[in-house]
Structure 1
Amino acid sequence: MDALADVLAAAKVGGTVLARVDAASPWGIEFPRMPIAVFHAVVDGSCWLRRPGAEPLRLVTGDLVLLPVGAGHVMSGAPTGPATPYDELVATLPGNGNGNRDGNRESEIHLPGPGPRTHVICGGYRFDGRVSRPLLALPPVLVLHAAAGESRERRELADTLRMLTAELAEPRPGSRTVIDRLTDVLFVHILRRWAAEHGEHGTSWVPALRDPEIAAAISLLHEDPARPWTVEELARGVGVSRATLSRRFADRVGESPLAYLTRWRLELAGRRLRDTADPLSVVAESVGYTSVSAFSRAFARQWGTPPSHHRADHRPA
């Protein structure tokens, strides 16, 4: 079981390119808070990422930033200065009054000026935030600098970005499919590279997957979440002692193996309640609960509402 792929599939992660920005200083674009993860890739030139409460961050050709929870921010040609709201810019584009909300094409934003030019690809990743704690647990901003050194992850990310840039520059039949798929692939390479460069620092789920035993343990839990796992059984399955697995899992993931399993079970249950009409007993059994009452209590603790209310609240109109 590929745990990362399982989480991405469960969270229904899907990417799209929102805009191609061709701007000459002075310029600034204010992006509002959005219910998606947002990325910006600097194709040529340099610019600044400005976030409330943080120092401006300079980006140069080849740099990429990801804001996992779509926090409001500004992309600009200088560390200070005015910025025009993104929605206002998009609304003024010919034949594009609704921006890129139809998902059929990216907006092309041209901002003339006397200063140096910068080209940026702006994109986003939509996901089901109710089944994506590993994604939401990422730092508020991931910065991947082009000059961070040579590695397999760096080459793969750069190659994917290069292919995406070329496809956007010269659209051909089938380009929309290629662009969407490359954008999805880009997300995986972003996570891989960030994990490779930050895997030894702090507690986070994605870098933890670089630890072979932790990755194996998480994979076993994802492969059979309904199984009545014990830490001893899980440790035997990955070839380490119970104490070693417990310590390393807590250090790298931020919670115990069984706490992780409980949360993942209930996230899967929440998705099944929203997407199916299965009885509570079937949903409970599918994630390892033999008692509907025990399942309901655990579900309410995590989601803040009983399973029946959760289903009613999220039933499609």
Structure 2
Amino acid sequence: MDVLSDVISAMRIGVPHSSHTRRIAPWQDHFPAAPGAGFHIVLAGSCLLVPDDGAPLTLRVGDVAFLTRGVGHALTAVSGEIEAETVLLCGAYQLDPSRTHPLLDGLPQVLHLPARLGHDAAVRATVDLLASELEQNLPGSSSTVIALLDVLLLLILRTWLGETSHPATSWAAALQDPGIATALRTMHEDIARPWTIPELAAVAGMSRATLTRRFTALVERAPLAYLTWWRLTTAARLLRDSEATVAAIAAQVGYGSEYAFSAAFKRQHGLAPGRYRVIPERSLRTATK
């Protein structure tokens, strides 16, 4: 898997949901803060997105607004409009607060893809399919909608991270740096391999010193420290999403013994693997503090 897909797979929990709505001005909908992420796409008309703690943002046809951390917000008709119709496609994703990734942590709380980006061919095609499935409610739509929501999440993030007109986050820069992106992808593709700095430098096509300096600056962890962190983050997902034994998961993420894995896991997550596996997701934030 590529890095972005890996990150989303590690964080996503539960089933995403979406809605296709029409509003006639004047109108207002409020969305309380929630753990997760969500999006609003304007299919017709316009509206204002008003974060609970931020400046209003005008959304027009083709615009995509992605809320990265479930911030509370309102959608409302544009001031002064009477009987104007707005058509919206909205969606929400649950994210595990115990498995956050710096790639998403570093993003603004609201990503705005104006129509010129929202009309990216892949984004547009997925939006059109999703809107059609929600509107027609045909047999199999439930499964189709979930799959399309997962695709749309990746496309929105990929489009924003690849855009150069906004201030780049360190992780956006890391994914656009050929050498660092290659090192990251290599570690993600073979997480259990006992990678060394010389091996990663050779894969990235740079010296050991350059790799360490650039990787640490952009990823905000040294290469092998990131590898350890990602192994244990992946292990957390496997503990919750699979029935594999702790010993099997330890081996899958590169640990030679269950004891060494358990000790490392507890240092990062604050809980032993077995305890982490059974504690309810909603309690993890408190339990791991």
For this structure pair, what is the TM-score category when the shorter chain's length is used for normalisation? 0.7 to 0.9
Q: Quick check: 1:278 aligned with 2:245?
A: yes
Q: Please give the secondary structure, in 1, of the residue aligned with 2:34.
A: coil
Q: Quick check: 1:216 aligned with 2:185?
A: no
Superposed counterparts of 1:278-297, under 5 Å = 278-279=245-246, 281-297=247-263
Alignment CA distance shift 1:303-1:56 (3 Å): same
Q: Please give the secondary structure, in 2, of the residue aligned with 1:258.
A: helix
Match of 2:45 in 1: 45
Alignment CA distance shift 1:54-1:11 (3 Å): closer
Q: Please give the secondary structure, in 2, of the residue aligned with 1:209.
A: helix
Q: Please give the secondary structure, in 2, of the residue aligned with 1:120.
A: strand
Q: Please give the secondary structure, in 1, of the residue aligned with 2:39.
A: strand
Match of 1:261 in 2: 227
Letter paired with 1:116? A
Q: CA deviation at 1:267?
A: 1.1
Alignment CA distance shift 1:68-1:223 (3 Å): same
Letter paired with 1:298? A
Identity, in percent, stands at 42
Deviations 1:109-154 (A, max 9, x none): xxxx9432211111112344444414444321111010459xxx82
Structure 2: state its 5+ residue gaps. 282-289
Match of 1:27 in 2: 27
Q: CA deviation at 1:261?
A: 0.7
Structure 1 or 2: more helix by fraction = 2
CA distance, structure 1, for counterparts of residue 68 and residue 32 of structure 2 = 14
Q: Do the aligned partners of 1:203 and 1:251 also contact (CA within 8 Å) in 2?
A: no
Superposed counterparts of 1:55-70, under 5 Å = 55-70=55-70
Q: TM-score, normalised by structure 1?
A: 0.76
Match of 1:146 among 115, 139, 152: 115
My pick for the range that moved more, 36-45 or 305-314, is: 305-314
Match of 1:179 among 139, 145, 161: 145
Q: Do the aligned partners of 2:52 and 2:71 also contact (CA within 8 Å) in 1?
A: no
CA distance, structure 1, for counterparts of residue 235 and residue 2 of structure 2 = 20
Q: Quick check: 1:8 aligned with 2:11?
A: no
Deviations 1:9-48 (A, max 9, x none): 3334676443222112221111012233111001111111
Letter paired with 2:123? L
Match of 2:285 in 1: none
CA RMSD in angstroms comes to 2.9
Q: Quick check: 1:201 aligned with 2:167?
A: yes
Q: Do the aligned partners of 1:50 and 1:79 also contact (CA within 8 Å) in 2?
A: no
Q: Do the aligned partners of 1:18 and 1:122 also contact (CA within 8 Å) in 2?
A: yes
CA distance, structure 1, for counterparts of residue 214 and residue 184 of structure 2 = 12
Alignment CA distance shift 1:290-1:164 (3 Å): closer
Alignment CA distance shift 1:175-1:311 (3 Å): closer
Match of 1:94 in 2: none
Structure 1: state its 5+ residue gaps. 81-112
Q: CA deviation at 1:243?
A: 2.2
My pick for the range that moved more, 169-178 or 223-232, is: 169-178
Alignment CA distance shift 1:246-1:164 (3 Å): same
Q: Do the aligned partners of 1:45 and 1:118 also contact (CA within 8 Å) in 2?
A: yes
Letter paired with 2:112? V
Letter paired with 2:22? D
Q: TM-score, normalised by structure 2?
A: 0.83
CA distance, structure 1, for counterparts of residue 138 and residue 251 of structure 2 = 49
Letter paired with 2:94? R
